[in-house]
Amino acid sequence: MPKSALIIGASGDIGMTVATEMAADGWSLYLHYHQNQTRVTTLQKQLLQDYPKQDFFAIQADLTQEDAVAKLTGQLFQVDAVIYTAGATTYGLLPEVSATALDHLWQVHVKAPILLMQQLQAKLAQSPLGRVVLIGSIYGGRGSAMEVPYSTVKGAQSAFVNAYAQEVASLGITINVVAPGAVDTKMNNQFTTAERAAVAAEIPAGAFATPAQIAYWVLSLMAPAADYMTGQTLYVNGGWLK
């Protein structure tokens, strides 16, 4: 069966790994990016070369923009799965966070995926698979000082999934959050080596996850036999408990 997925944030480190592994598993992909066009077009070229019988399309959207989701969904045909990995954080004590930054966090992590589900629900219900995975965060469960608004929107992703899974289970759609602890990606580039070592020391596994260790669980949720797993937040955190 030809199967087609939309990866929101395919230009990110987790998104690129998920895309590469899904392509190897026979998926055609819509590869979304915001600013990193070159990353996605390079990935697209490579995937077209490796898997010439599958389709790979690049789609640009800034998800802080009100009309971004409608523009994006207007470009889609078959969609059997959605992987939502777009995200960014804002560091600082709460009184320092601007209202605009709050709006952007809400828009990218919560409003855009909800609008996306509203617009793609019918397509997902038509599919024999109908899978949705949001990449959340351990901070959505345990919270983090200096990242209070980010922790809040990550928690909202899990709350959305809890509720929405109940509405669409009878349509054959599953929706889950894969919530990493710390992952070795460009999102953490601003930390010094010492700061990263301090975080790693808090993690029982003693290290950040690789993007592949997160992608593994996303791919697992795509399997036909995973069709009874829905409404859950899977913490993938090396024992760094929520």
Ligand X SMILES: NC(=O)c1ccc[n+]([C@@H]2O[C@H](COP(=O)([O-])OP(=O)(O)OC[C@H]3O[C@@H](n4cnc5c(N)ncnc54)[C@H](OP(=O)(O)O)[C@@H]3O)[C@@H](O)[C@H]2O)c1
- The 103-142 site mask, x for binding ligand X (CB under 6 A), equals -----x--------------------------x-x-----
Using rule CB under 6 A, residue 149 touches ligand X: no
Q: Which is nearer to ligand X, 6 or 135 (CB)?
A: 135
Residue choice 175, 180, 221, 222 for contact with ligand X (CB under 6 A): 180
Length of the chain: 242
Task: Report the distance separating Cα 37 and Cα 15, nearest Å.
Answer: 14
Find, among 115, 161, 116, 114, the residue nearest to 141 by Cα: 161
Stretch that binds ligand X, among 45-53, 164-172, 178-186, 222-230 (CB under 6 A): 178-186
In angstroms, how far is the first alpha carbon of the chain from the final one?
38
Using rule CB under 6 A, residue 15 touches ligand X: yes
Q: Which is nearer to ligand X, 199 or 229 (CB)?
A: 199
Stretch that binds ligand X, among 6-14, 92-100, 162-170, 218-226 (CB under 6 A): 6-14
Q: Which is nearer to ligand X, 2 or 45 (CB)?
A: 45
Using DSSP's 3-state secondary structure scheme, residue 223 falls into coil
Using rule CB under 6 A, residue 155 touches ligand X: no
Cross-strand pairs, 234: 178
Find, among 92, 21, 18, the residue nearest to 50 by Cα: 21
Task: Report the distance separating Cα 218 and Cα 203, nearest Å.
Answer: 22
Stretch that binds ligand X, among 46-54, 79-87, 117-125, 163-171 (CB under 6 A): 79-87
The answer for 52, left when phi > 0, alpha when psi is -120 to 50, beta otherwise, is alpha
> Which DSSP helix (H) or strand (E) runs through 182?
none
Binding site for ligand X (CB under 6 A): 9, 11-15, 33-36, 61-64, 85-88, 108, 135, 137, 180, 182-183, 185-188
